[in-house]
């Protein structure tokens, strides 16, 4: 075969294969096939130079180098093109907002309350809340606490001088979360399965284990075969 024609055929085949390669792995296979040092097709063409006449060698040598450079440049350009999507997929978008930092942390009481609520929720209990400012009926009478009971002593409760019910009855800060149970039973027929977690108030002397305000959790379950 004519050496110049062989070089032209090689160049056309190599450029076609490069254009059809969809990724870096395919391009590497094309490089090995056409430019590989051991078994590349260009190595076979190089042997034609040794068979050329002294007059043909300058022309063939120049053309050989041109073809080799053209195929090498096409490989590099195609490799850069197929690598762009991968680079874009992993690139950092500097216009995105930063990851927000959580300042502080939940109070230990809040953490404990949420943990208790989660435990009871897994047992099917609903969390119900109620007012912290209560009337005497919900705080005492509805719970069968008689008038003479020590728990009703004004010195053991926080009665509010500036607050009263519509009928003029005194109001106080609840001394227990049992008030929520009364309110639930007033409006819900059985079955009932609730818990109430919240602040309660009693005028205790403040020390390491007592305070005028503390948290309490109570549960109520009403139903058949309980």
Q: What was the pLDDT predicted at 121?
A: 94
Predicted local distance difference test score (pLDDT) of residue 215: 95
Return the pLDDT at 129.
93
- Report CA Rg, the chain: 44
State the angle between helix axes of 57-90 and 3-20 in degrees (0 to 180), rounded to the nearest 10. Answer: 0
3-state SS assignment for residue 166? coil
pLDDT attached to residue 141: 94
**pLDDT in the model for residue 57:** 77
Report d(CA 124, CA 194) in Å as an integer.
8
Q: How far is CA 156 from the centre of its chain?
A: 49
Neighbours of 180 (CB within 10 A): 23
Contact 116, 217 (CB under 8 A): yes
Helices (H), 188-225: none
> Topology of 108-222 in CATH?
BirA Bifunctional Protein; domain 2 (3.30.930)
pLDDT at 47: 75
* DSSP 8-state code for residue 177: T
Q: How far is CA 9 from the centre of its chain?
A: 56
Digits of tens for pLDDT over the chain (226 positions)?
A: 677 888 788 888 888 888 888 888 888 888 888 888 777 787 777 777 777 777 777 887 888 888 888 888 988 888 888 877 655 556 677 888 888 888 888 999 999 999 999 999 999 999 999 999 999 999 999 999 999 999 999 999 999 987 787 778 889 999 999 999 999 999 999 999 999 999 999 999 999 999 999 999 999 999 998 8
Distance CA 3, CA 51 (A): 10
Residue whose tokens read 């004004």: 154
Residue 41, classified by CB atoms within 10 Å of its CB into exposed (0-12), middle (13-18) or buried (19+), is middle
Could you give the strand order of the β-sheet that contains 192-201, starting from the edge strand earlier in sequence? 126-127, 192-201, 213-222
Report the candidate in 28, 22, 9 with the shortest Cα–Cα distance to residue 75. Answer: 28
Q: Name the pairing type of β-strands 133-135 and 126-127.
A: unpaired
């Amino acid at each position: 075969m004519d050496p110049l024609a062989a070089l032209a055929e090689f160049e056309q085949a190599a450029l076609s294969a490069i254009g059809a390669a969809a990724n870096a792995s395919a391009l590497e296979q094309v490089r090995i096939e056409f430019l590989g040092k051991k078994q590349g097709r260009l190595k076979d063409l190089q042997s034609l130079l040794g068979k050329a006449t002294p007059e043909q060698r300058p022309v063939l040598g120049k053309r050989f180098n041109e073809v080799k450079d053209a195929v090498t440049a096409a490989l590099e350009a195609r490799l850069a093109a197929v690598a762009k999507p991968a680079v874009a997929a992993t690139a950092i978008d500097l216009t995105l907002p930063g990851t927000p930092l959580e300042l502080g942390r939940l109070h230990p009481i809040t953490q404990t309350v949420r943990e208790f609520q989660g435990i009871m929720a897994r047992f099917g209990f609903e969390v119900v809340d109620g007012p912290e400012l209560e009337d005497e009926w919900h705080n005492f009478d509805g719970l069968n606490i008689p008038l003479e009971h020590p728990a009703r002593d004004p010195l053991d409760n926080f009665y509010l001088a500036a607050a009263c019910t519509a009928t003029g009855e005194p109001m106080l800060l609840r001394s227990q979360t049992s008030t929520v149970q009364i309110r639930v039973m007033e409006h819900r027929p059985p079955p009932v399965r609730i818990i109430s977690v919240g602040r309660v108030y009693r005028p205790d002397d403040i020390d390491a284990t007592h305070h005028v305000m503390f948290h309490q959790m109570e549960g109520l379950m009403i139903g058949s075969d309980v």
